[in-house]
Amino acid sequence: MELRLDRFATLYLFAPLMRLAPQNRFSIPILMYHSISDEDESHTHPYYRTTTSPKDFAVQMEYLHRNGYETCSVPEAFHRLNADTRPEVKSVAITFDDGYRDFYRNAFPVLSQFGFIATVFLPTAHIGESQLQFKGRDCLTWSEVRELQKHGMHFGSHTVSHPQLVNLGEDAIKFEIVSSKRSIEEKTGCAADTFAYPYAFPQANIEFRKMLRDSLRGAGYQNGVCTIVGRAKRSSDPFSIERLPINSFDDAALFQAKVTGGYDWVSKLQFASKALRSQTERV
C-alpha cells in the first residue's frame, strides 16, 4: 500500500490516544462520497481521491450494518445532535456530492440491501429531464431523483453550477443557493433544506463564512455541510458541519477509525494550513 501519512498518524497515534481519553461529547459521523465507480484515480494522491469502487462501498456499508449503525439524513443528524436526549442507536449520515448517476446504479442497491438511506447533493444545472454530465460523468435525471426519493433518499442543494463560491460576489452566491433550492423543490415537491458547499471550504475566512451563513439562512436552509474534516457535534456550525471524506483507499482499519473519531485530528491541521495560506496571500 502507498505510504499515507494521515493513515499512519491516525492508526498509530491519534486513534490509540482517543481510546484512552474519556468520550463525553456526542457526535455523528457524516460520510462524504462522490462517485461510486471503478474509475482509475491512481494519478491522484489518496487523500484527494473522490471515487469509491462498488466493491469497497459494499464492504464499508456492511461494516456499518454489522456494527449496529442506523442511517439518517443530514437534517435528522442535526436534530439528533441538538436533542435533549441521545438516540439509543448509533447514528451515521451518508452523503453524496455532485449528483452522479452511479449513485443510482451502484450505491442505491447496496444501501437498499441494508435498509440505509442517504443524502444526495445536486448541482442543479447538471440534473435534467434527459441525461446530462458533470466532470465527464453521467448525472441523475429528475425522474431518477423522484424515484430515489420514494425509497427514502433525501436531496439537498450543491448550488446550480458548482462554482468556487468564495470567488463570487454576494449576488452571484445568492443566485446559486436560491435557484438550486427552488429547482429541487419544484421538481421533487419536497423541501430542500440542506446545503453542501462545493470544493474545499474556506474555513479560515471568517468574513466569508458569516456572509454565507446569513445567505443560507435567508434562503430558507436549515443546515449545511462542507469539507471540514471530522464528526459532527452539537457545537458544530449548523451551516458548515464537518464530514469525513471516504474513498477506495480507505482500508477497513482507516474506515473504522474515521467513523469512530480517530480521524478528527485532521481538522486542526486543515485549519492551520488554510490560515497560514490566507496570511501568506495577504502579504
Residue 43 has pLDDT above 70, yes or no: yes
How many angstroms separate the CA atoms of 108 and 93, rounded? 14
Return the percentage of the chain with pLDDT > 90, whole number: 85
CATH number for the domain whose boundaries are 5-17+25-282: 3.20.20.370
How many angstroms separate the CA atoms of 179 and 157, rounded? 9
**Segment 233-276, tens digit of pLDDT:** 999 999 999 999 999 999 999 999 999 999 999 998 887 776 66
79-93, 155-169, 220-234: which has the minimum mean pLDDT? Answer: 79-93
Domain ranges of the chain: 5-17+25-282
pTM of the model: 0.94
Residue 144 has, within 13 A of its CA and on its CB side, a CA count of 20
Which among 97, 104, 103 has a CA at the least distance from the CA of 180?
97
240: its cell numbers: 458548515
Q: What's the confidence (pLDDT) of residue 279?
A: 59
Amino acid 145 reads V
Strand partners, 94: 31
Residue given cell 443528524 in the structure block: 77
**Segment 170-227, tens digit of pLDDT:** 999 999 999 999 999 999 999 999 999 999 999 999 999 999 999 999 999 999 999 9
How many angstroms separate the CA atoms of 266 and 22, rounded? 20
Q: Give how far Cα 29 sits from Cα of 77, 189, 221, Å.
A: 9, 28, 21
The rounded mean pLDDT for the chain is 94
- Of the pLDDT bands very low, low, confident and very high (cuts 50, 70, 90), residue 282 is low
Q: What 8-state DSSP symbol labels residue 100?
A: B
